[in-house]
């Protein structure tokens, strides 16, 4: 079984502050290095999409913490869709599965990835998440409530999102970039593929604000 992992780190992270959040340190190690380390020993290929102007910074830092890492760095796009599209061009043709992971999620584990692949079954993809416990409201442009979806039918989804390789490549070749996709499962759904959700019981914080660094650190050894 050949697994390619795409790490998406192309965003600016403007809500975090001046520093690129992926270089913020948790226990002395940059966020994106945690994300790489969690998967690099359990995949056959790793590709990371980052801002073009920072490729050297990411590459040097990866070499410092993970010598001879064999990571392929590629320029990220203007959107997540663009970044993943660039990375897919470099995926090994022998890949059976492609896992797409946010570089800003340093807690996701290789065990999670393995467990998800075991549960993908006849579906084209599987994504982790947690059942929503808060009440969610739909609103219009004036913040007037227009609906209340049933919580039982909602999940807050995470990454890594894992897909059968040929199906994911087909989906990205089929859908236009300006369709407003915010995750890879949405691209697959638009192409007509069936995706299943996987209940992830473990913390999987996405680093968005400075305080998330301390939160994530509490779950690390």
Q: Is residue 143 part of a domain?
A: no
Q: Is residue 141 part of a domain?
A: no
The answer to whether residue 69 sits within a structural domain is yes
Residue 76 lies in a domain: yes
Mean pLDDT of the residues in the chain: 94
- pTM comes to 0.94
Backbone dihedral angles phi then psi of residue 182, each to the nearest 5 degrees: -110, -10
Judge whether 31 lies within some domain.
yes
Residue 11 lies in a domain: yes
- Residues 39-53: tens digit of each pLDDT: 999 999 999 999 999
Whether 187 and 175 have beta carbons less than 8 Å apart is answered as: yes
Q: Is residue 55 part of a domain?
A: yes
Residue 137 lies in a domain: no
Higher pLDDT, 196 or 11: 196
The model's pLDDT over 84-115, given as tens digits with 9 standing for 90+, comes to 999 999 999 999 999 999 999 999 999 999 99
User: pLDDT value at position 28?
Assistant: 95
State which residues form the domain around 109: 3-121+159-193+201-217
Residue 74 has pLDDT above 80, yes or no: yes
Instruction: Note if the bond before 160 is cis, omega within 30 degrees.
Output: yes
Instruction: Please say whether the beta carbons of 212 and 203 come within 8 A.
Output: no
To the nearest 10 degrees (0 to 180), the angle between helices 55-65 and 31-40 is: 60
Q: Is residue 15 pLDDT above 80, yes or no?
A: no
Q: What is the pLDDT of residue 10?
A: 72
CATH number, residue 85: 3.90.550.10
pLDDT at residue 16 tops 70: no
Domain count, the chain: 1
Q: Which residues contact 25 (CB under 8 A, 6 or more apart)?
A: 31, 213
């Amino acid at each position: 079984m050949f697994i390619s992992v795409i790490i998406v780190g192309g965003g600016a992270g403007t809500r975090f502050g001046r520093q690129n959040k992926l270089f913020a340190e948790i226990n002395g190690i940059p966020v994106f290095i945690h994300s790489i380390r969690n998967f690099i020993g359990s995949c056959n290929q790793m590709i990371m999409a980052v801002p073009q102007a920072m490729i050297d910074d990411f590459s040097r830092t990866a070499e410092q913490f993970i010598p001879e890492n064999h990571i392929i760095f590629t320029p990220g796009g203007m959107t997540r869709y663009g970044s993943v599209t660039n990375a897919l061009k470099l995926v090994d043709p022998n890949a059976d599965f492609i896992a797409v992971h946010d570089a800003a999620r340093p807690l996701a584990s290789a065990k999670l990835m393995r467990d998800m692949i075991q549960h993908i079954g006849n579906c084209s993809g599987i994504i982790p998440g947690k059942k929503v416990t808060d009440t969610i409201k739909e609103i219009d442009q004036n913040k007037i409530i227009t609906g209340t979806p049933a919580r039982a039918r909602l999940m807050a989804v995470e990454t890594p999102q894992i897909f059968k390789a040929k199906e994911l490549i087909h989906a990205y070749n089929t859908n236009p970039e300006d369709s407003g996709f915010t995750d890879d499962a949405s691209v697959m759904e638009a192409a007509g593929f069936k995706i299943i959700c996987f209940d992830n019981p473990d913390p999987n914080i996405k680093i968005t604000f400075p305080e998330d660094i301390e939160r994530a650190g509490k779950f690390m050894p």
